[in-house]
Structure 1
Amino acid sequence: MENPAVFSLRIVRDPELARKELKRLIGRMDNAQQWKVRDQVDAILFDVRNRGDAAIIQFTEQFDGFRPEPIVVPEDQLERAWRALSKNLRDALEQAHRRITDFHQCQRPADITVNGPYGECLGRRWRPVDRAGLYIPGGRAAYPSTVLMNAIPARVAGVNEVVICSPADQSGQVNPVVLAASHLVGVHTVFRLGGAQAIAAMAYGSDSVPKVDVISGPGNIYVTLAKQAVYGQVGIDSLAGPSEILIIADESAKPDQVAADLLAQAEHDPLAAAVLITTNQALADKITQEIEQQLVTHPRREICRASLSNWGLIVVCKNLETCAQLSDGFAPEHLELLVEQPEVLAKQIQHAGAIFLGPWSPEAVGDYLAGPNHTLPTCGTARFSGALSVETFMRHTSLIAFNRAALEATGLAVQKLAESEGLHSHAESVRLRLSESASLSYEHRQPR
């Protein structure tokens, strides 16, 4: 028989105390342990950069318990993994693939051409990076959905070469559904690598692993800190922290649905955060009991309890306006609006990675196949960043084509600005052209 409740979600009614609690949740990755991990990550990065495959093999054997020889998964295993899936799972992956692709096709940025007032032509041109590296987590769970959410925007962007790093089990086997999803999206190269050594391999390159231009994909603290350290050597999508959900609910929300949605986030990780902000006191009072009932047969109940005990919170507010203000202060990765008029409330929200409107839009549909990307900003970073997108795998180049008339019309201003910064040759490069232009104009006006 399952033990009675071993935790109770904290209920807060004072808005100021709620803000303090939400701030604590945002900072749940800030602890002294990070500095110890950072030192370990730096050592791994340095070793892989200098010793390449030898260091990659050593760290994989040390941390993952097998020797990755070869490092790459034979390509025929990807197709075999796809064929071995049940028809229902293949159909589900194909449906997700279609929906995610259709949505991301709409994200392709357009080139810009602007004609200036003096005949000059200005523009911005988009091009894909040459090679992208995707990190697909293993460990507590494997995520074929993450393969789709990272590989599809890279493919839509037009990236020529996409490679995947994903940790294997102690027998050296990468999760077969991850391999199958890789085959579905057209990725042919999967490396049996995880952790900071995988990020180092993709950032610096080795005899076996090619150096990439952009690394995307979530991971544990070792992966996140490694991505942070190599940024500048390569581009990255974001620094993903542990997952989180905030639910705003009123009297229309059903307790069993709210509980399931909170647990859907808590089951990811002991550091995941699950927050309910509600105007319904009765819902706040019922939710812990409802969660406990759903945990009785839950296969990941210990992870859920750890998450909710430390990072779960219920806030009771007088009105939805206060709920929206508290939500914006938290800037959640996932925001569910389980209210009677979700479209109206959504207009008040400024900061959120993704907003799920109404009872028929659980966060799970966004994780798997709604279409928008599920790689979202966490730990308050939705204040200044958004979801992974096609643009993550592209870079834009400015195009500037001045003619003689345009330089004559603007050159004096350029010279004055350059002189104000003490940059003599900047000004001189324009002056020389204008002098030559004036001379040519004079000669053109002389009688023959």
Structure 2
Amino acid sequence: MISLELPRARPNDFTKVLPMVEEIIREVREGGDRALIELEERFDGVKLDSVVEDRVDELASRVPRELRDAIDHIYEQLVEFHSSIKPRDFAGRSRGVEYGVVWRPIRRVGIYVPGGGRAYPSTLLMAGVPARVAGVGEIYVATPPSRIDPVICYISKKLGVKRLYRLGGVQAIAAFAYGTESVIKVDKVVGPGNIYVQAAKFLVSKDVGIDGIEGPTELVIIADESTNPRDVILDMRAQAEHGPATLIVLISTSRELINEVANELRSDENMYYLVEVSSADEAIEIANELAPEHLSLYVRDPHRYLGRVVNAGAVSLGRTPPAIIDYAAGPNHILPTNQWARFRGGLTVYDFLKPIMYANAEEPGEELVKSAMALARHEGFELHARSIGVRYGWE
């Protein structure tokens, strides 16, 4: 189906599922492992003796050599990308004060890898590699038990995952957030999932860190007359594989391109938005308003326009298919949706690090001392001012 009008913003409305999700979280907090086993039978139809997967080595050995080699190659590319952007400790000095920042990894991280009808081992790579590069000490993974993909086990071994849990949905998020007899309570939960998983992350975020709310998928393509229609159509259909809720928008200065794309996609069941604009500047402005998960600059000299992109999760330049970012290029496919790109980016090594600031002000400049005392007294904190003044001999 084709629309020639701009799509409306799609707020991620959890209202209809929050009561159900809250109840499941309560069951996990009160019932521990027993509740997890009951919930897995209720929602996934799987009877478990334990939520811990103890066949990791055996399952990993089943992965064909060709696929192992592919995983290893992608793993190395992701390591290089996240290592290259990893922040470094910093130290400086001004006005008699030594100051700086040291970066420390989060201690424990839980990664949720969605599953069910399909397995998504690429999600474990995308979340696990930046965590490992950051130096996270303990990585735990949960994935639905109906089908434990051997590739997930193989990647878990590469990452040095402490434990793989046979858990899906809300119960996996709740277990990570609060812990049970078998599931270790973590400091941060990351990973995509359906509306129930995202609602669960939203609810537990008061007690544990989360990466963000991800889903459904979004793609905005900006194209000009130099664009190959076949490539655009294929990229749009590729992202539509994520399901009917996917937002797919083509913005172009070429009416001929729009017409050709419309003729090809008109019979598709998915909804596509095709928008004609008078200039690339207008297209960039619209894209920044939409703040999409994926933005494709399929134009001549895409670097010229990259500098003007302010709201996007990940940007593919020129003829780069967005799908290569989903799997292997280096940037992450765990990206902000629902206009969250206005204030956060995709998952990186930064999400697994904490900046700890420090200062050594044993011999600060006189004006800095006076200024601090003046501001403290203005705010009514007399003892703050005195603790500063006495220490440096001003009172």
**Band of TM-score, shorter chain:** over 0.9
Runs of 4+ in 1 over 6 A off after TM superposition: none
Q: What is the TM-score normalised by the length of structure 1?
A: 0.84
Whole-angstrom CA distance in 1 between matches of 2:217 and 2:394: 64
What SS does structure 2 have at the residue aligned with 1:340? coil
Tell me the CA shift for residue 28 of structure 1: 5.3
Tell me the CA shift for residue 409 of structure 1: 4.6
Tell me: CA distance 1:140–1:278, structure 2 relative to 1, closer, same or farther (3 Å): farther
What SS does structure 1 have at the residue aligned with 2:61? helix
The equivalent position to 1:389 in structure 2, one of 325, 330, 348, is 348
The amino acid of 2:45's aligned partner reads G
Tell me: CA distance 1:28–1:409, structure 2 relative to 1, closer, same or farther (3 Å): closer
> Is residue 260–residue 291 contact of structure 1 (8 Å, CA) maintained in 2?
no
- Which string of whole-angstrom CA distances, capped at 9 and with x for unpartnered residues, describes residues 40-62 of structure 1? 11111222122221222222111
Give the aligned partner of residue 11 of structure 1.
4
The equivalent position to 1:373 in structure 2, one of 305, 329, 332, is 332
Whole-angstrom CA distance in 2 between matches of 1:197 and 1:224: 12
Tell me the CA shift for residue 68 of structure 1: 2.7
Tell me the CA shift for residue 425 of structure 1: 2.2
Matched, 1:185 2:149: no
Tell me the CA shift for residue 139 of structure 1: 2.7
Give the aligned partner of residue 182 of structure 2.
208
| Identical aligned residues as a percent | 39
**What pairs up with 1:38-437 in 2 under 5 angstroms?**
38-74=18-54, 77-118=55-96, 120-169=97-146, 173-291=147-265, 305=269, 308-309=270-271, 312-359=272-319, 361-403=320-362, 405-406=363-364, 409-434=367-392, 437=393
Q: What is the TM-score normalised by the length of structure 2?
A: 0.95
Tell me the CA shift for residue 193 of structure 1: 0.5
More helix by share: 1
> Is residue 90–residue 100 contact of structure 2 (8 Å, CA) maintained in 1?
yes
- Which string of whole-angstrom CA distances, capped at 9 and with x for unpartnered residues, describes residues 206-265 of structure 1? 110001011111111111111111113111111112111011112222222111101111
Tell me: CA distance 1:432–1:407, structure 2 relative to 1, closer, same or farther (3 Å): farther
Per mean C-alpha deviation after superposition, the further-off stretch among 144-153 and 379-388 is 379-388
> Is residue 95–residue 365 contact of structure 2 (8 Å, CA) maintained in 1?
no
Tell me the CA shift for residue 180 of structure 1: 2.4
Q: Where does structure 1 lack aligned partners over 5 or more consecutive residues?
A: 1-7, 13-17, 296-304, 440-448
> Is residue 78–residue 330 contact of structure 2 (8 Å, CA) maintained in 1?
yes
Tell me the CA shift for residue 408 of structure 1: 5.1
Whole-angstrom CA distance in 2 between matches of 1:284 and 1:49: 53
Tell me: CA distance 1:287–1:414, structure 2 relative to 1, closer, same or farther (3 Å): same
Aligned residue pair count: 395
Whole-angstrom CA distance in 2 between matches of 1:317 and 1:244: 20
Tell me: CA distance 1:290–1:182, structure 2 relative to 1, closer, same or farther (3 Å): farther
Q: Where does structure 2 lack aligned partners over 5 or more consecutive residues?
A: none
Per mean C-alpha deviation after superposition, the further-off stretch among 194-203 and 231-240 is 231-240
Tell me the CA shift for residue 188 of structure 1: 4.0
Tell me: CA distance 1:438–1:348, structure 2 relative to 1, closer, same or farther (3 Å): closer
> Is residue 28–residue 271 contact of structure 1 (8 Å, CA) maintained in 2?
no
